[in-house]
Amino acid sequence: MTFDRQPYRSSTELHGTPAEYRLQVQRAQQERAAQRDSELEDQVSPTKDPSERIVTWERLHALRLPRAHDHLLVKVIATQTRLTVAQVHEEQRRRVAGSLPPVIEAST
C-alpha cells in the first residue's frame, strides 16, 4: 500500500510572505463581518416581510423558530427582528399550517 505524499511546502510558498498572509486573513475577516452586518440589517429591515426577517434571524443564530407560542425565544425574536410578538406567532401558525397534510373532506 502506497501513500501519495505531497512534498513539504513552506507557508511562504503557499501564501507568500507572512505579511501577505496576514492581509488575506484580515480581508477574509472583514468580508465575514460585512456579510454579518448586511444580514443584521436584513433582520430588521422594514422592506422585508416577517417571514424573511425570522429566517434571517434563524440563520444568524443557528436556531429554529420555536413551535410553542409561550417559548422564551418568541419575545427575543420579536425584539431582535423589530416585529411584534403577534407577527412572530403568525409565522409560527403559518409554518404549522404548511406542515400539516391537506384535509380531505369525505363526500356524502
Let me know if residue 2 belongs to a domain. Answer: no
* Segments forming the whole domain that contains residue 56: 15-99
**pLDDT value, residue 75:** 97
The pLDDT score that the predictor gives to residue 17 is 86
84 located within any domain = yes
**Is 108 among the domain residues?**
no
Domain assignment of residue 27, yes or no: yes
Mean pLDDT over the full length of the chain: 87
Whole-number pLDDT of residue 16:
80
Does residue 1 sit within a domain?
no
Q: 81 Cβ partners below 8 Å, 6+ apart?
A: 43, 44, 50, 53, 54, 56, 57, 88
Mean pLDDT by 10 residues, the chain (108 residues): 66 74 93 92 93 94 94 97 97 87 58
pTM of the model: 0.70
- Whether 80 is in a domain gets the answer yes
Count of structural domains within the chain:
1
The Cα–Cα gap between 73 and 57 comes to 11
What residue type is assigned to position 16 of the chain?
G
**Does residue 29 fall inside a structural domain?**
yes
- Give residue 11's pLDDT: 57
